[in-house]
């Protein structure tokens, strides 16, 4: 197995391509450990030609920790297209595998992925790794972009680092969807998506590196007036997603892309809504909340 930087010239430390390994089969512990080290180094790893189905994807994902359930999905607790509770449905398909209508509620909720975010930052125990398998992709568009929140933190001046050091944010899908004007939530959704607290600056448990824990789900800072908090969060997201910090992944069918939500943000890019895009995501939960992490 080899891991090489995808862009050795402009982003040698962010985004790695893994070759010489079939991750759809059971792996020896040394190879799992090598992938973990690659994640610590590159934040995002790309594997081409991995013919996953849900069971094999779940088995590979479990190498990295306990999986979280797809309880952030809008239709959680109802009939779902995908059977396993450990698989997030990142597609534009209905339960009969037909492309959703442009104004379908599930599709509009899913457009929240177009905003920069870190997966499950709206859960008290947010995501560690996300693993996204491209089962079917559109003919054009539909890239996923990743931004390096470690490099973004490092680039802040000392004054800003001091200002942010101890800030605590509230994260909720009600905030992120609200940005796009989606407010078609039931009373139950509102209870389920009640805001959770997250540190704004976090320290990576294995590398010790600090990073900005930002997401469109962040809608308030404890002790700050809301407009002032949102203005700061906007500025930070803008700076942290400058093109120099971003890797844009152009998908091939059967790619598996794995990212560390503790050190990155990502967003979906647009594509022709009449074409099928079917991606299945498994998610490894963090071992501790950001509130338990060292300051
Ligand atoms: C995700 C996600 C982006 C995309 O799966 O968590 O945000 O491009 N996906 O589908
Ligand atoms: Mn996501």
Environment class of residue 63 by beta-carbon count within 10 Å: exposed (0-12), middle (13-18) or buried (19+)?
middle
Q: What is the pLDDT of residues 195-231, one digit of tens each?
A: 999 999 999 999 999 999 999 999 999 999 999 999 9
pLDDT at 66: 98
pLDDT at 294: 67
Beta-strand (E) ranges in the chain? 2-7, 11-19, 44-47, 88-91, 127-136, 144-148, 168-171, 196-199, 201-203, 210-212, 218-221, 246-249, 256-260, 264-268, 278-285
The ligand 1 atom at the shortest distance from the C-alpha of residue 130 is 6
What does pLDDT average to over the chain? 97
- How far apart are the C-alpha atoms of 260 and 271, rounded to whole Å? 25
pLDDT at 75: 86
- How far apart are the C-alpha atoms of 208 and 13, rounded to whole Å? 16
- Quickly count: other Cβ atoms within 10 Å of residue 154's Cβ: 13
- Could you give the C-alpha distances from 7 to 41, 65, 264, in angstroms and in order? 14, 29, 17
- Could you give the C-alpha distances from 3 to 65, 266, 282, in angstroms and in order? 21, 21, 22
Q: 293 pLDDT exceeds 90?
A: no
Do 70 and 87 meet the contact criterion of CB atoms below 8 Å apart? yes
The ligand 1 atom at the shortest distance from the C-alpha of residue 277 is 10
23 Cβ closer than 6 Å to some ligand 1 atom: no
Range of the domain at 253: 2-294
Q: Atom 6 (ligand 1): residue with closest C-alpha?
A: 119
The ligand 1 atom at the shortest distance from the C-alpha of residue 266 is 7
Average pLDDT over residues 126-151: 98
Q: How confident is the model at residue 295 (pLDDT cuts 50, 70, 90)?
A: low
Cα 113 to middle of ligand 2, angstroms:
6
Q: 257 pLDDT exceeds 90?
A: yes
Q: Atom 2 (ligand 1): residue with closest C-alpha?
A: 113
Percent pLDDT > 70 in the chain is: 99
Q: What is the pLDDT of residues 156-175, one digit of tens each?
A: 999 999 999 999 999 999 99
Give the CATH number, domain containing residue 92: 3.60.130.10
Contacts made by residues 187-190, CB under 8 angstroms, sequence distance 24+: 189/74
pLDDT at 74: 87
Q: What is the pLDDT of residues 58-112, one digit of tens each?
A: 999 999 999 999 998 888 989 999 999 999 999 999 999 999 999 999 999 999 9
User: Phi/psi at 233 (nearest 5 deg)?
Assistant: -60, -40
pTM for this prediction: 0.98
What token pair was written down for 141?
Answer: 């568009």
What token pair was written down for 268?
Answer: 């979906």
pLDDT at 138: 98
Secondary structure letter of residue 286 according to DSSP: P
Q: What is the pLDDT of residues 123-132, one digit of tens each?
A: 999 999 999 9
- Quickly count: other Cβ atoms within 10 Å of residue 12's Cβ: 14
pLDDT at 202: 97
- Give strand pairing partners of 223: none
Number of structural domains the chain divides into: 1
pLDDT at 229: 98
pLDDT at 156: 98
pLDDT at 287: 92
Q: 19 pLDDT exceeds 80?
A: yes
119 Cβ closer than 6 Å to some ligand 1 atom: yes
Q: What is the pLDDT of residues 27-45, one digit of tens each?
A: 999 999 999 999 999 999 9
Q: What is the pLDDT of residues 57-67, one digit of tens each?
A: 999 999 999 99
């Amino acid at each position: 197995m080899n891991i090489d930087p995808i862009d050795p010239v402009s982003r040698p430390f962010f985004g790695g391509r893994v070759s010489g390994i079939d991750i759809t089969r059971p792996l020896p512990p040394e190879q799992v450990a090598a992938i973990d080290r690659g994640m610590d180094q590159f934040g995002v790893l790309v594997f081409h030609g991995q013919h996953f189905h849900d069971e094999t994807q779940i088995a590979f994902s479990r190498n990295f920790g306990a999986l979280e359930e797809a309880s952030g999905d809008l239709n959680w607790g109802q009939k779902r297209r995908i059977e396993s509770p450990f698989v997030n449905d990142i597609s534009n398909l209905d339960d009969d595998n037909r492309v959703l209508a442009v104004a379908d509620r599930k599709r509009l909720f899913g457009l929240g992925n177009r905003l920069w975010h870190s997966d499950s930052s709206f859960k008290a125990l947010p995501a560690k790794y996300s693993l996204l398998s491209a089962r079917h992709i559109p003919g054009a568009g539909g890239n996923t972009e990743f931004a390096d929140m470690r490099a973004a933190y490092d680039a802040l001046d000392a004054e800003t680092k001091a200002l942010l050091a101890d800030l605590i944010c509230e994260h909720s899908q009600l905030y992120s969807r609200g940005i796009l004007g989606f407010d078609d939530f039931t009373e139950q959704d509102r209870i389920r998506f009640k805001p959770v607290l997250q540190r704004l600056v976090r320290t990576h448990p294995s590398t010790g590196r600090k990073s900005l824990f930002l997401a469109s789900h962040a809608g308030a800072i404890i002790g700050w007036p809301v407009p002032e908090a949102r203005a700061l969060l906007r500025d930070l997201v803008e700076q942290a997603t400058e093109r120099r910090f971003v890797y844009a992944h152009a998908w091939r069918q059967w790619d598996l892309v794995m990212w560390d939500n503790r050190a990155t943000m990502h967003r979906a890019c647009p594509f022709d809504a009449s074409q099928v895009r079917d991606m299945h995501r498994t998610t490894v939960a963090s071992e501790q909340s950001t509130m338990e992490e060292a300051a």
